[in-house]
Amino acid sequence: MRKKQLGWVGIVLVVAVAGSLAAWAAGTPEEKVVEKAVAVKLAEKSVTVFPVVITPDKGFGPDFRKRIGEVVGMLLERADMEKVQLAEAEFLPKEGEKVEQVAGAFGRFVAGRKIETPYALFAEIHGTPKTGPQAIRTIVVNTAGNVVLAEEIQKDAFAESGPMVPKDPMSCCVFIANRLREPWGLADPLRKDAPKGEVQENWRKRSGIPTDEEIAAIKERAVKLQEGLAKSSLQICPVYAFRKPDQDSTVKLAAMLADAGFASVQAAENGPDLNVQGSPNEQEVLWRTARKALAYFQEHAPSGEYVLVADFGIGRTEERVKVGAVHWMILDRQGDWVMVDYQNSHHEDFQRIDPDSVEDCLELVKVRLKKRLAEAK
């Protein structure tokens, strides 16, 4: 297979056109090498998304891989892909193979199955929790198994290859979706008015995200909180960091929020257990935590008007502390949600503070709480 070093360091892009599956398998397909994915134009906005593989496999099981694929599918829906289906079957490439070899194998894999869309998508992320993403492969084949797009982008080319530099599986999903915008003529998947498709609706139901009616009720409670802020007390439940309660950080957060406008802010000694099942879907983790807090306070009513719960997705590698997400929420005396907020690398405040410690996470909670209170006016 011919290769050409591209202007963007680390990108090898292969587009096979009019080549039969047999020719591809034999290593002599008709092919055209182009410089970037924008040169590929795909006609029908319809695709089957296969589970996304992380190489090397560091305990990422099939459910995790499917969920990552689901996130890619949801982002494509938001980008105006007209039809997105999620494959149940899983394609696992051989480690050590080059992108064109993986693309050919995926083509043969798809050709042996009946998919209901004209295209199939497979992506592979190279990296570990310690190193972060080192390379991202994106492969598209048609129903006959012919490869129409296969690219590998190395870490040193991430910044030149998309609007966001991927740092974790979720941001890798955004990166993959953005790489496919030009070939399919898609829109920005992160825009505020992006449509909600079937994949997102199924995901919403499973992840426990509130309905539109519930969200409207939360907003009303937030307005009520803002209106009575100066007469209301706030209790800070034990902050969770490194998957356990941190009373010292709880006291610090109470002091940091003393000027937030509440009549009083105090650190509490008791609160809900915030350890929940993990997921590559950050919203799912958020709402599992929120529902656990709701159940706790409906059974153990707080003594004050409001209570704040915070959970930091923070961990240590051999080299540094890494923050994946910051979740916090306020509930009222009835145990109902008043504010629910999360921040990760996709959000402006998270990017600005760039947290790498518990103290940074506390600062982010303070910044976000004050903003949310201002927005509720």
Residues 156-182 have pLDDT tens digits of 999 888 788 898 888 999 999 999 999
pLDDT at 209: 82
pLDDT at 222: 97
43, HSE (Cβ side, Cα atoms, 13 Å) = 3
Name the CA radius of gyration of the chain, rounded.
23
Q: Per-residue pLDDT averaged across 22-47, rounded?
A: 53
Task: Tell whether the torsion through CA atoms of 253, 254, 255 and 260 is positive or negative.
Answer: positive
Pick the closest to residue 262 from 347, 142, 373, 115 (CA basis). Answer: 373
Q: Which residues of the chain are in CATH 3.90.950 domains?
A: 209-375
By the 8 A CB rule, do 179 and 75 touch? Answer: no
Supply φ then ψ for residue 122, to 5 degrees: -135, 140
Q: Considering only 32-41, 158-167, 229-238, 253-262, which range has the smallest mean pLDDT? A: 32-41
pLDDT at 334: 93
pLDDT at 298: 93
By the 8 A CB rule, do 266 and 235 touch? Answer: yes
* Entry field: residues in the chain: 377
Q: Which residue has the higher pLDDT, 211 or 10?
A: 211
Q: Per-residue pLDDT averaged across 194-217, rounded?
A: 87
**CATH architecture observed for domain 209-375:** Alpha-Beta Complex (3.90)
Residue 241 in this model has a pLDDT that exceeds 80: yes
> Which pLDDT band, with edges at 50, 70 and 90, does 37 fall under?
low
Strand, helix or coil at 37? Answer: helix
284-334 pLDDT tens trace: 889 999 999 999 999 999 888 999 999 999 987 767 888 989 999 999 999
Strand (E) positions, the chain?
Answer: 11-16, 31-32, 46-49, 53-55, 83-86, 119-128, 132-142, 147-154, 233-236, 239-241, 244-246, 264-267, 306-316, 321-332, 337-343
Average pLDDT, the chain: 87
pLDDT at 350: 96
Give residues with Cβ within 8 angstroms of 7, minimum separation 6. Answer: 35
Report the helix count and the strand count for the chain, using DSSP H and E.
12, 15
By the 8 A CB rule, do 13 and 36 touch? Answer: yes
73-112 pLDDT tens trace: 999 999 999 999 999 999 999 989 999 999 999 999 999 9
By the 8 A CB rule, do 197 and 84 touch? Answer: yes
pLDDT at 25: 27
- Nearest-angstrom CA–CA distance, 54 and 173: 12
Residue 59 in this model has a pLDDT that exceeds 90: no
Q: Per-residue pLDDT averaged across 126-131, rounded?
A: 88
